[in-house]
Amino acid sequence: MAAFDVIFIGGGPAGYTGANRAGQLGLSVACVEFRGTLGGTCLNVGCIPSKALLQSSENFYHAKHKAAEHGIKFTKLEFDVAQMLKRKEGIVSGLTKGIEGLFKKNKVTYIKGKGTFVNANTVKVVAMDGSIEEHTAKSFVLCTGSIPVELRSIAPFDGKDIVSSTESLCFEKVPDHLVVIGAGVIGLEMGSVWLRLGSKVTVIEAMDRALPPMDGAVSAEMKKIMEKQGMLFHLNTKLTKAEKSGKGVKVTAEKDGQAMTIDCDKVLVAVGRRAYTDGLGLENVGIAARRDGKLDVNKHYQTSVPNIYAVGDVIDGPMLAHKADEEGVAVAELIAGKSGHVNYMAIPNVVYTWPEVASVGLTEEELKAKGIEYKVGKIPFMANGRARAFGETDGFVKIIADAKTDRILGGHIIGPNASELIAELVIAMEFSASAEDIARSSHAHPTLAEVMKEAALAVDKRALNF
């Protein structure tokens, strides 16, 4: 039994970052986590392992399809899935141990086990070995994250052939034919990994486009580029069933009232994630989760019980690690009596396909719906010297600014290193910059970032190199 100023329940990006910040601010702090390792979905079965496999598969794809253009020839090129998986696991374990080191540095107590509320100041923690301890705190932060949505009635997960993103990170051999349900972030990223290693990949998407919430021009370009790489899309198509059949899986879907059948060996169901608040004992403190599992909070992240806060995937907003860690920091600062705050307009969103997709702020579709007048500057990477030197000329940068004030309202990039380029627009939006501010800033030559400057110039119809 120990008394803390604050206990974070959940050791993912929201929980471990928030706990470290609380420790920095001099609070006595603990973090309860039952997974056995810190880092949550992001580090253990999400962002990091998927990026490791995306990099390995991209290296192979580059060697196979692009190196010859650079005058590099391979007489024998092969890959080793087991080594790719081993490398991925090494990266994950190094990083999760790194967080334990940060906990020590910031004097955060790491409590291993599953936390359940006894009352609004006490949590009971059941450890892996079954032992039980109670811990008390003045405040609690719920940051228990999310889990994949399961289509239980039509495509229940079997952990082997009909799987979530978690298992798709561990296929021991390249599937001959992978069917992906959902052309969202996970579908396109994990679909890309196995496509590059030789799988036939068929994507079934209920909406009329890939990456539905993204800017329309980006979605259309993404689908075109993925198709060029060999990915097959069935849009406006709803999955009706996926079931084991012989050694493989039989998938049935419906498009325009017509049924279609696809035989494959693996199905990845990537139709979203849902907040995970099961087993927290919320009923013991009088907090009601919504039907979708999410928790309602006020602008200081307080639930209906004022000393119990919630951040990350369990509350509204995009389910992104960096949104969660910003909220973790903000809530730690608020609990410490400071003025923590998150600017939701400046949270970037990235898809790590190749080329990458990155966006921040509003899309054209959202601006139209809000009736805001805007100007657009759009420049293709084809016009950029560095992109040509890379041999990566697919895609464009699109900057959207307010028609009257020129303030940047959104930015959308599809192209090489979009995940890094977007940071310039995030900072610009944090500083309420205008498109002219970017247009008048010197960008090193030759760099991909020059496309950002050109797009900003194009907002005012004065691009100089296109």
Just list the catalytic residues: 445
Contact residue for ligand NAI among 32, 108, 185, 295 (CB under 6 A) = 185
d(CA 347, CA 324): 10
Residues 185-188: contacts with CB within 8 Å, 24+ apart?
185/211, 185/270, 185/351, 186/50, 186/268, 186/270, 187/268, 187/270, 188/222, 188/226, 188/231, 188/351, 188/353
- Structure token digits, residue 317: 């907003």
Element spanning 91, H or E: helix 81-105
* Cβ contact 181:268 at 8 Å: yes
Site residues for ligand NAI, window 255-314 (CB under 6 A)?
270-273
The stretch among 72-80, 115-123, 316-324, 456-464 that binds ligand NAI (CB under 6 A) is 316-324
Q: What is the rounded distance in angstroms from the CA atom of residue 86 to the CA atom of residue 322?
A: 26
What is the SS3 assignment for 183? Answer: coil
8 Å CB contact between 146 and 316: no
Determine the interface stretch with ligand NAI among 67-75, 109-117, 205-213, 332-340 (rule: CB under 6 A): 205-213
Asked if residue 204 binds ligand NAI (CB under 6 A), the reply is: yes
Task: Tell me which residue of 354, 374, 464 sits closest to 418, measured CA to CA.
Answer: 354
Q: Rounded to an integer, what distance in angstroms lies between the CA atom of residue 452 and that of residue 152? A: 44
Residues of span 209-238 touching ligand NAI by CB under 6 A: 212, 238
Among 108, 183, 218, 459, binds ligand NAI (CB under 6 A): 183
Whose Cβ is closer to ligand NAI: residue 239's or residue 379's? 239
Give SS3 for 350: strand
Go through the chain and tell me how many residues it has: 466
Task: Tell me how far, at minimum, the Cβ of 176 lies from ligand NAI, in Å.
Answer: 22
Q: Which is nearer to ligand NAI, 139 or 353 (CB)?
A: 353
Q: How many CB atoms lie within 10 A of CB 103?
A: 21
185 Cα distance to chain centroid: 7
**In 10 A of CB 84, how many CB atoms?**
19
Does the footprint of ligand NAI cover residue 207 (CB under 6 A)? Answer: yes
Closest approach, Cβ 186 to ligand NAI, in A, equals: 3
Q: Taking CB under 6 A as the rule, does residue 387 contact ligand NAI?
A: no
Q: How is residue 282 annotated by DSSP?
A: G
Q: Does 413 bind ligand NAI (CB under 6 A)?
A: no
Cα separation, 430 vs 437, whole angstroms: 13
428 is a site residue for ligand NAI (CB under 6 A): no
Q: Give ∠ CA 280-283-289 in degrees, rounded to 5.
A: 75
Q: Which residue in 161, 205, 325, 454 binds ligand NAI (CB under 6 A)? A: 205
Q: Strands of 237-245's sheet, edge to edge?
A: 237-245, 248-255, 258-264
Contact window for ligand NAI (CB under 6 A) among 61-69, 118-126, 315-323, 360-368: 315-323
The residue from 30, 267, 310, 319 that contacts ligand NAI (CB under 6 A) is 319
CB-nearest residue to ligand NAI: 184
Q: How far is the CB of 115 from ligand NAI (least distance, A)?
A: 24
- Least CB distance to ligand NAI at residue 393 (A): 23
Q: How far apart, in whole angstroms, are the C-alpha atoms of residue 76 and residue 83?
A: 18
Q: Give yes or no for residue 186 binding ligand NAI (CB under 6 A).
A: yes
Q: How far is the CB of 340 from ligand NAI (least distance, A)?
A: 23
Say which residue the tokens 């059949």 belong to. 245
Instruction: In angstroms, give the least distance from the CB of 238 to ligand NAI.
Output: 5
- β-partners of residue 4 are 137
First and final C-alpha spacing in the chain: 67
Task: Out of 320, 329, 414, 422, point to the residue binding ligand NAI (CB under 6 A).
Answer: 320
The region of 85-93, 108-116, 178-186, 399-407 touching ligand NAI under the rule CB under 6 A is 178-186
Please choose, out of 71-79, 200-208, 393-401, 438-446, the segment that lies near ligand NAI by the rule CB under 6 A.
200-208
Token representation of residue 316: 């509204």
Site for ligand NAI in 342-361 (CB under 6 A): 350-352
Compute the least distance from the CB of residue 150 to ligand NAI, in Å: 11
Residue 407 binds ligand NAI, judged by CB under 6 A? no
Identify the helix (H) or strand (E) that includes residue 24: helix 13-24
- DSSP assignment letter at 389: H
Least Å distance, CB 424 to ligand NAI, is 18
Residues in the interface with ligand NAI (CB under 6 A) total: 25
Binding site for ligand NAI (CB under 6 A): 181-187, 189, 204-207, 212, 238-239, 270-273, 318-320, 350-352
